[in-house]
């Protein structure tokens, strides 16, 4: 993934700072509670929500179990409609392909509609290194780009910024990227949006190359779908002469009809609207309307590795609605930066360590960035059992085991830093396998209960600092049973 995130501290350290930032916590709390309440109302309007959710899950499962079939079919359909399909095994290859395509047009700037896939590959930085400037055109992405910042939320990437901060960023930075902000810019959202409109419009009107992602790709017809609100997507998709879409291979759906499910569940889960303001659908190129050249770059970058894990595979059902972020008590307090990835929150905690592997300290810490409360699973429109995958990944981190990296089966060693956990689990297993030793240990613990410290020593200390240790009972359950009922017939 993007080099921006290299060297990020593990989740606990990053979150440690975030929870001490009162502005961040206030902004996040307001945002997550507002969206989650609205979402609940939008979902309640549909009496068949459970059926839609089940169908969405089933369609994605069908797609994933036959992904090769659908990708080949998609390629045929896009090609037949006048598009060109490219395949990228990893981020570097995707960036090389896009850079070469842009250079072939002779242009040195591109307009971009918000795209998780190109954030994941670090495309903007790769283009910059080749002398090509990429302009983000989603309002929130513009705030992030001008502020030299990183997104913190999938849907509203600049939600950690309040209006005063945004005003300062616009006033100070817009001039360096093009049309400066108007003099005397206030912090009213309408004025800030107007400044963005003026700043970006000149870029839209002269742009020759657009770069996008896509929410869905229909294998049957070769149709791509982009769902948005501001119209910047429509600008990028229809005004340039060349359109390059970088899309993860998991975004394919089998049939045109399948959109009837996803166009109902996505807006309501995401922005809590019946329908988002703008949805664009295009199939290859159309004479006289829109770009003359269309390139689709199909991105793997760890997705086939994720597919190889039968438990973790379900993370690829994700349609990036961000509902799980807004209900997560951990995300609400830690914010998106702490996850060290373009995919924050509960879905990031299971997707990132699968896409990137659990080799780094940060990635190994992500499966623990959760209280396992299950709220994320409840709201997920494609029913990803995020807690199940978290526990599965924790086991992989602690125990090691089989995984696929870059298409190759590898045996992972247990991650560093989990020695105490592993030792405790080994000891527990041994004790439970040896009832006599367990009984003796329980009696010893009971007899010495007055002497136990309130805090654990050594590596257990951090754990006991924030928790009350359970009282050791005077007598174990087994001894109590033996004493009171031991004589009874079974």
Subset of residues 7 to 46 that bind another protein, contact rule: CB under 8 A: 27, 30-31, 34-35, 45-46
Q: Assess 209 for contact with another protein (CB under 8 A).
A: no
Q: How far is the CB of 183 from another protein (least distance, A)?
A: 20
- Three-state SS at 245: strand
Interacting residues with another protein between 388 and 447 (CB under 8 A)? 404, 407
Query: Kind of pairing, strands 252-253 and 216-218?
Result: parallel
Q: How far is the CB of 305 from another protein (least distance, A)?
A: 7
Six token digits for residue 16:
């440690």
* CB within 8 Å of 290: residues ≥ 6 apart: 237, 238, 243, 282
Q: Assess 62 for contact with another protein (CB under 8 A).
A: yes
Q: 19, 44, 104, 410: which one contacts another protein (CB under 8 A)? A: 104
Q: Assess 59 for contact with another protein (CB under 8 A).
A: yes
Q: How far is the CB of 415 from another protein (least distance, A)?
A: 23
Closer to another protein by CB, 239 or 456: give it. 239
Q: 24, 28, 55, 146: which one contacts another protein (CB under 8 A)? A: 55
Assess contact for 217 and 225: CB atoms under 8 A.
yes
- Cα–Cα distance, 41 to 38 (Å, whole number): 5
Q: 205, 436, 451, 489: which one contacts another protein (CB under 8 A)? A: 205
Closer to another protein by CB, 325 or 362: give it. 325
Q: How far is the CB of 88 from another protein (least distance, A)?
A: 6
- Show contacts of 400-406: CB within 8 Å, 24+ apart: 403/305, 403/308, 403/309, 403/357, 403/358, 404/304, 404/305, 404/308, 404/309, 405/305, 405/357, 406/90, 406/305
* DSSP symbols for 75-133: HHHHHHTT-EEEEESSHHHHHHHHHHHHHHHT-SEEEE---HHHHHHTHHHHHHHTT-E
Q: Assess 365 for contact with another protein (CB under 8 A).
A: no
Q: How far is the CB of 352 from another protein (least distance, A)?
A: 18
Backbone angles phi, psi at 88, to 5 degrees: -125, 120
Assess contact for 221 and 75: CB atoms under 8 A.
no
Nearest by Cα to 413 from 349, 364, 340: 364
Q: Assess 319 for contact with another protein (CB under 8 A).
A: no
Six token digits for residue 135:
């302009």
Stretch in the footprint of another protein (CB under 8 A) among 133-141, 384-392, 444-452, 472-480: 133-141
Reduce the secondary structure of 271-337 to three states and give it as a string: CCCCCCCEEEEEECCECCECCCEEEEEEECCCHHHHHCCCCHHHHHHCCCCCHHHHHCHHHHHHCCH
**Residue 398 half-sphere exposure toward CB, CA atoms < 13 A:** 17
Q: 24, 97, 319, 364: which one contacts another protein (CB under 8 A)? A: 97
Total residues contacting another protein by CB under 8 A comes to: 111
Q: How far is the CB of 18 from another protein (least distance, A)?
A: 19
Interacting residues with another protein between 74 and 93 (CB under 8 A)? 81, 84, 86-89, 92-93
- Residue carrying structure tokens 């283009």: 127
Do you know the residue count of the chain? 490
- Cα–Cα distance, 166 to 158 (Å, whole number): 9
Helix spans in 181-271 (H): 189-206, 232-238, 259-270
Q: Assess 137 for contact with another protein (CB under 8 A).
A: yes
Q: Assess 179 for contact with another protein (CB under 8 A).
A: no
Q: 9, 17, 25, 61: which one contacts another protein (CB under 8 A)? A: 61
Interacting residues with another protein between 224 and 263 (CB under 8 A)? 229-232, 234-235, 238-239, 249, 254-257, 259-261, 263
Q: Assess 189 for contact with another protein (CB under 8 A).
A: yes
Closer to another protein by CB, 407 or 473: give it. 407
Closer to another protein by CB, 77 or 330: give it. 77
Interacting residues with another protein between 146 and 165 (CB under 8 A)? 156-159, 162-163
Interacting residues with another protein between 256 and 315 (CB under 8 A)? 256-257, 259-261, 263-264, 271, 273-283, 286, 288-290, 298, 300, 304-305, 307-308, 310
Q: Assess 193 for contact with another protein (CB under 8 A).
A: yes
Q: Assess 448 for contact with another protein (CB under 8 A).
A: no
Q: 72, 427, 437, 474: which one contacts another protein (CB under 8 A)? A: 72
Q: How far is the CB of 96 from another protein (least distance, A)?
A: 5
Name beta bridge partners: 409. 404
Q: How far is the CB of 258 from another protein (least distance, A)?
A: 8
- Cα–Cα distance, 299 to 88 (Å, whole number): 5
Closer to another protein by CB, 259 or 393: give it. 259
Q: How far is the CB of 256 from another protein (least distance, A)?
A: 5
Q: How far is the CB of 411 from another protein (least distance, A)?
A: 16
Six token digits for residue 235:
């600008």
């Amino acid at each position: 993934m993007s080099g921006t995130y290299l060297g990020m501290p593990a989740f606990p350290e990053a979150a440690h700072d975030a929870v001490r930032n009162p502005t961040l916590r206030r902004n996040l709390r307001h945002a997550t509670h507002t969206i989650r309440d609205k979402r609940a109302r939008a979902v309640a309007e549909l009496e068949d929500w459970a059926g839609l959710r089940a169908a969405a899950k089933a369609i994605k499962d069908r797609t994933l179990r036959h992904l090769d079939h659908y990708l080949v079919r998609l390629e045929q359909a896009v090609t037949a409609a006048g598009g060109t399909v490219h395949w990228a095994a990893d981020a570097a290859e995707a960036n090389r392909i896009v850079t070469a395509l842009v250079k072939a047009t002779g242009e040195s700037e591109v307009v971009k509609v918000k795209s998780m896939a190109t954030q994941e590959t670090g495309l903007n930085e790769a283009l910059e290194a080749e002398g090509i400037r990429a302009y983000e055109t989603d309002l929130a992405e513009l705030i992030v780009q001008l502020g030299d910042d990183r997104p913190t939320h999938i849907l509203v990437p600049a939600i950690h910024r309040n209006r005063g901060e945004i005003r300062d960023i616009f006033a100070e930075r817009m001039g360096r990227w093009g049309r400066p902000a108007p003099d005397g810019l206030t912090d009213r959202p309408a004025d800030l949006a107007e400044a963005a409109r003026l700043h970006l419009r000149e870029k839209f009107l002269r742009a020759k190359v657009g770069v996008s992602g896509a929410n869905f790709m229909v294998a049957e017809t070769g149709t791509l779908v982009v769902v948005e609100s501001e119209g910047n997507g429509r600008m990028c998709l229809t005004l340039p002469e060349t359109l390059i879409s970088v899309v993860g291979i998991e975004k394919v759906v089998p049939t045109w009809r399948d959109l009837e499910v996803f166009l109902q569940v996505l807006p309501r889960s995401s922005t809590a609207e019946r329908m988002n303001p703008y949805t664009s659908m295009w199939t290859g190129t159309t004479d006289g309307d829109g770009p003359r050249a269309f390139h689709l770059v199909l991105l793997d970058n760890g997705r086939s590795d994720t597919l190889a894990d039968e438990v973790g595979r379900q993370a690829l059902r994700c349609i990036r609605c961000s509902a799980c972020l807004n209900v997560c008590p951990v995300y609400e307090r830690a914010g998106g930066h702490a996850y060290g990835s373009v995919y924050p929150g509960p879905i990031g905690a299971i997707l990132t360590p699968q896409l990137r592997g659990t080799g780094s300290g940060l990635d190994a810490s992500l499966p623990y960035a959760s209280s396992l409360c299950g709220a994320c699973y409840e709201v997920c429109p494609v029913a990803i059992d995020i807690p199940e995958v978290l526990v599965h990944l924790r086991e992989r981190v602690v125990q090691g085991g089989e995984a696929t990296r870059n298409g190759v089966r590898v045996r992972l060693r247990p991650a560093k830093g989990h020695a105490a956990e592993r030792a405790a689990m080994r000891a527990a297993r041994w004790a439970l396998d040896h009832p006599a030793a367990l009984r003796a240990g329980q009696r010893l613990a009971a007899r010495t209960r007055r002497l136990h410290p309130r805090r654990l020593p050594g590596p257990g200390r951090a754990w006991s600092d924030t928790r009350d240790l359970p009282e050791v009972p005077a007598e174990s359950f087994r001894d109590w049973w033996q004493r009171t009922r031991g004589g009874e017939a079974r």
